[in-house]
Amino acid sequence: MSRSLWRKISKEIGIWRGGALPGIVVIGLVMLLRITGALQILEWITFDTFLRSRPSEPLDERIVIVAIKEEDIRNVGSYPIPDQEIARLLQSLQSYQPRVIGLDLVRDIPVNPGHKELVAIFEEWPNIIGIEKILPNQIAPPPNLPSEQVGFSDTLIDQDGNVRRSLLGTPTDQGYQFSLSLRLAETYLKAEDISLENGLRDLHAMRFGATELHRFFPNSGGYVGTDAGGVQVLLNYRSGQASFRTLSLNDVKTGNFNPHWVRDRIVIIGMIAPSVKDLVNTSAIVELNPPGQIYGVQFHAHSTSQIVSAVLDKRLLFRTWSDLWEYLWILAWGVLVISLARLTQSPLNNLLAVGIVSLGLMGVGYIFIVWGWWIPVAPVLLILLLNSIGFGFYQYDRALRARIDVRQQTIEQAFNLIHNGPMQTLAYIRMHSQNQDLSQDELLSKLEDIKDETWKIAEYLKKEALTQEETILLRSNLKLQLQLPIDELFYEVCRETLERNFPYFETLKVKAIKFEPIPERYLTVGHKRELCQFLEESLCNVGKHAQGVTRLSAIGNYKGSWYTLSIKDNGSGISPSRENRGTKQARSLEKQLGGKFKREALSPRGTLCELTWPLVDSHWSLGRIKHGLKSLFKN
């Protein structure tokens, strides 16, 4: 693998790690919130929104609602409606030969006059289904009505007050009971020679012919830990304002309707009067009156229609994925969001991309709803939102830090170039001026050198800022490419520096120079630059201060998993305790690399300048992980 490719891969890994860690935390947090049920309401709202957005469906011609309205109550003159009125209504309807009649009216006690007449009708016609209430606050069924002609009218209310499920059957102290909607569907489908049986794929489910009603489970769709007792199904409300034909009590009395509307149909009788308040909350149907509510008789019509339409028309029943597939889906979208953040780079582009992806996700969720699948959308939208905000701050902070780092590096580099260039020439002028052995011509020449060096440094820094070159400039105006292996760079720094015009380089007789190579993954470009500057500074100090030096060694080698770069001479040297610019630079490099720096006097003469650091992958070092964690918590 080429060095340039490895550098690109290493850089990419570093960026992904720094940016992906907060994104992964967000994914985990959203999953945790979903597992605890904290996102249920958001998922319900999304589910309802999709249901409201579906195209309108045509009327279900199989079902007719006979509504007792406020006007009918006024015409009768009392409420509850007397048994006599109900008996006459049932007789009138039976004359039109409906297949089954559901009476969604409580008749546990007589409402005279006409109670005996109503009881006689119950006993005479087996296609009449009455109601009872079996959940808390139980209400008995009409007297003298056989158990197979009774269905419960109870509804299952979610925490937000809406009804999204239909309870079809449940065990009770009186035996296994069925709902009104199931009784109506069962009676209607018997005439089609289709009977109610246990499921095949799910033995506890209900089945009519080849159509198995998908059972609701505690974690179905957006639900978490919900009571799934009995046999429940997700309710697929018919979309549109007018789902069923509705007649009033007065319409039936006067015959003001087409007889074919009732013949061989399912007729459900119930109250549609605001004063009675037999209401069910739902947000799945548009433009309801009253808003967000339907009447109980309409709810039973939707529940009955769902069963019959699924069996005869293959209308879709809602299904959901298993928990495993749902969380894999959420994880996959979360990874996509992290990828978007890496590809877009800027916060504005990321926001735009997230907006487009969010719209796409909503479209996918809507299509799945139309196909009869409820998939997780709200958790993914939350991940998109949180990560777009988080990555926006992360990218802004990263860009800001990058600008600060570039500025700081430029300042440091400028100082080092000046220190190792013009400042060294000034030191030479000062020393020879003190010794009074500097001629006028040499002084002017050195001052001219300072001017040229300063301009070269300025031009180099300007060009590097514009081109962002990864180079280092030595005093000899030699520009080294930092993509080169570090051992080659060390050799070039030594060669160029030792050729400089320092007074004590002239006495050198022995030069021991050897550098073992370091694998590229252990050093960043910044580390290479600073190590070269450290080596250059150390060699310059020998040339300026090591009076009487005859031997110089510059060695780089391994000691276990540590690399040691040492510069040693036998000159008089400078005081090891002196904290000059080079020492401060070395201390900074020591912290960056997690190593050790020392400068000490040797016996009987000489100075050792040594930097030792561990060879740890520069993109996976502990220090960088700590930095990533700090950035995460800061954001």
Q: Where are the domains of the chain?
A: 3-36+321-396, 57-320, 397-634
Tell me the three state secondary structure of residue 614. Answer: strand
Quote the Cα angle for 445-451-453, to 5°.
100
- Report the pLDDT value the prediction gives residue 608, as an integer from 0 to 100: 93
Contact 263, 96 (CB under 8 A): yes
CA torsion angle for 74, 80, 83, 85 (degrees, to 10)?
20
Three-state secondary structure call for residue 122: helix
Residues 6+ apart with CB under 8 A from 298: 65, 243, 244, 270, 272, 280
Residue-level pLDDT at 596: 93
CATH number 3.30.565.10 is the correct assignment for the domain at 397-634: yes
pLDDT of residue 407: 66
How many Cα atoms are found within 13 Å in the side-chain-facing hemisphere of 601? 11
3-state helix, strand, coil in the chain (%, to 5): 50, 15, 35
Q: Which residues contact 480 (CB under 8 A, 6 or more apart)?
A: 471, 472, 473, 474, 489, 492, 493, 532
| Cis ω for the linkage preceding 80 (within 30 of 0) | yes
Sheet of strand 562-569, all strands in order from the earlier edge strand to the far edge: 510-515, 551-559, 562-569, 607-614, 596-601
The pLDDT score that the predictor gives to residue 635 is 41
pTM for the complete prediction? 0.68
* Average pLDDT, consecutive stretches of 10 residues, N- to C-terminus, the chain (635 residues): 56 57 86 95 96 94 96 93 95 96 94 93 94 91 91 96 97 93 97 95 95 96 95 95 92 94 97 93 91 95 98 96 96 84 67 86 96 96 82 63 66 66 73 75 78 69 57 72 90 90 88 92 86 90 89 92 94 68 80 90 91 77 42 41
pLDDT at 91: 96
CA distance 283 to 164: 9
Cα–Cα distances in angstroms (integers) from residue 85 to residues 135, 142, 279, 314, 376, in the given order: 29, 15, 23, 38, 49
Q: Which residues of 528-539 are buried (b: 16+ CB within 10 A; e: fewer)?
A: bbbbbbbbbbbb
Structure tokens at 119: 């009881």
Which residue from 333, 372, 40, 317 is spatially nearest to 199, judged by alpha carbons?
A: 317
Amino acid 370: pLDDT: 95
